[in-house]
Amino acid sequence: MSTGENKRCGVVAVIGAPNAGKSTLVNQLVGQKVAITSAKAQTTRARMLGIALLGDTQMILVDTPGIFTPKRRLDRAMVSAAWEGAEAADAVLLLVDPIKQRRHELEPLIESLAGRPERKILVLNKVDVAKKEPLLALAQELTGKVDFAEVFFVSALTGDGVPEVKAALAEMMPEGVWHYPEDQVSDASERLLATEITREQLYKQLHEELPYDSAVRPELYQHRPDGSLEIHQQIVVTRDNQRAIVLGKGGSRIKAIGEAARKELTEMLGVKVHLFLHVKVEENWAESKELFEEIGLDWVR
Ligand SMILES: Nc1nc2c(ncn2[C@@H]2O[C@H](COP(=O)(O)OP(=O)(O)OP(=O)(O)O)[C@@H](O)[C@H]2O)c(=O)[nH]1
């Protein structure tokens, strides 16, 4: 923990439409992988924090779930978690994908941002693939609607322009002692992070075959006497046919998912990992308060 003088510490809320690239940007700002990314919308379910350091400044990044119009309870919980993240922030970073603009999702965000007191910065993402002129036109339009302190053009994927964003955010952080030790990059428990790794593999390996309303629930997470780690997780799906998809022929799919997740966990945690995955059909899990809390969401009505 830092107690020195001239330290700064603050919270940055990262908001944007689903799939704008928030997780990718947070990982770049932190300098290592703390949030999972995927081409599938609404990947970010639990509220994850990344912690970025620059000189004497610690920035606690709240990687909010994509904000969109909530219908089901699960969706409402995600939106509520997102705004909760923005509530206590010292700066708000709006990330926009200029290619897939998702106007209907961007407009309400812009409207609510306009009235908020925090310092705001606008970050237009994906400059590696976006055309310059529409990009500038969009920047002009959005700065006309919200009082952004600064505007940046970045590629979260390549890291282009990200150091500039990081420097600007650091300037906005208030003076204060650091909230976390220097070597901590995330406040998500390892247990929860481990389920995110498995969920990422589920998406990667099953693509569109699996609907996003599947969850990974932590069951057991314990160190063995030899220093290795034994992890049991439950993959929760809503229907029998989804269970069959996850298992694959002769269990081949779940084996591949487990193998890839295990490799990544071993690398991330620096210890040998024994990973056991179980698939469970729970028709109404999205209505289950207990499971919500297990995957790090608050229960909202
Ligand atoms: N070409 C390009 N692709 C990007 C860039 N940033 C992110 N992506 C891709 O866009 C997709 C979505 O990125 P994520 O970081 O998962 O998006 P997110 O906003 O966290 O998404 P949710 O979790 O659904 O809210 C992924 O396939 C990324 O690789 C970029 O700068 N350039």
Nearest atom within ligand 1 for CA of residue 66: 25
What pLDDT, on the 0 to 100 scale, is given for residue 33? Answer: 56
CATH class of 190-294: alpha beta
Confidence of residue 68 (pLDDT cuts 50, 70, 90): very low
Per-residue pLDDT of 161-174, as tens digits, reads: 999 999 999 999 98
Q: Which residue has the higher pLDDT, 176 or 252?
A: 252
In Å, how far from its chain's centre is CA 92? 15
Q: Mean pLDDT over residues 111-136, rounded?
A: 88
Domain boundaries, the chain: 8-172, 190-294
Which carries the bigger pLDDT value, residue 251 or residue 290? 251
Q: What is the pLDDT of residue 49?
A: 54
Determine whether the annotation assigns residue 38 to a binding site.
no
Instruction: Give the pLDDT band of residue 214 (cuts 50, 70, 90).
Output: confident
Identify the residue with better confidence: 53 or 299: 53
Burial class (CB in 10 A: 0-12, 13-18, 19+), 86: buried
Average pLDDT value for the chain: 78
pLDDT mean over 40-69: 63
CA–centroid distance, residue 252 to ligand 1 (Å): 29
Is the distance from the beta carbon of residue 23 to the nearest atom of ligand 1 less than 6 Å? yes
Judged against a pLDDT cut of 70, whether residue 197 lies above it is answered with yes
Average pLDDT for 9-26: 85
Distance linking the first and last C-alpha atoms of the chain: 38
- Sheet of 273-281, strand order: 215-223, 229-237, 273-281
**Ligand 1 atom closest to Cα of 156?**
31
Q: Give the global pTM.
A: 0.63
97 Cα–ligand 1 center, Å: 9
66 is in an annotated binding site: yes
pLDDT per position as a tens digit, 1-17: 444 568 898 888 888 87
Distance of CA 271 to the CA centre of its chain: 24
Q: How confident is the model at residue 260 (pLDDT cuts 50, 70, 90)?
A: very high
Report the topology of domain 8-172.
Rossmann fold (3.40.50)
The response to whether residue 157 sits with its C-beta less than 6 Å from ligand 1 reads yes
| pLDDT of res. 212 | 61
Instruction: Report the range out of 155-159, 236-240, 292-296 with the highest average pLDDT.
Output: 155-159
> Nearest C-alpha to atom 7 of ligand 1 is from which residue?
21
Please give the pLDDT value at position 194: 85
Instruction: Confirm whether residue 260 is marked as ligand binding.
Output: no
pLDDT at 274: 94
Mutate to test the pocket of ligand 1, among 24, 34, 74 (most ligand atoms within 8 A of CB): 24
Give the number of the atom of ligand 1 that is nearest the alpha carbon of residue 43. 23
The answer to whether the beta carbons of residues 297 and 81 sit under 8 Å apart is yes
Judge if the beta carbon of residue 22 lies within 6 A of ligand 1: yes
Distance (Å, whole) CA 34 – CA 255: 24
Residue 69 is predicted with a pLDDT of 44
Q: Ligand 1 centroid to 288 CA: how many Å?
A: 29
Q: Does ligand 1 lie within 6 Å of residue 38's CB atom?
A: yes
Q: Is 28 in the pocket of ligand 1 (CB under 6 A)?
A: no
Question: For residue 31, is pLDDT > 70?
Answer: yes
Task: Tell me, in angstroms, the distance from the centre of ligand 1 to residue 212's CA.
Answer: 16
Ligand-binding site membership of 237 (annotated): no
CB distance 277 to 235 below 8 Å: yes
How far is Cα of residue 264 from the mean position of the Cα atoms in its chain?
Answer: 17
Q: What is the pLDDT of residue 276?
A: 94
CB 66 near ligand 1, within 6 Å? yes
Query: What contacts 269, CB < 8 A, 6 or more positions away?
Result: 190, 229
Q: Express each pLDDT in 76-123 by its tens digit.
A: 555 555 555 555 578 889 999 998 877 777 777 787 777 777 899 999
pLDDT band at 63 (very low <50, low <70, confident <90, very high): low
Residues of the chain above pLDDT 70, percent: 74
CA of 20 to the centre of ligand 1 (A): 5
Instruction: Tell me: is residue 16 an annotated ligand-binding position.
Output: yes
What pLDDT does residue 206 have? 87
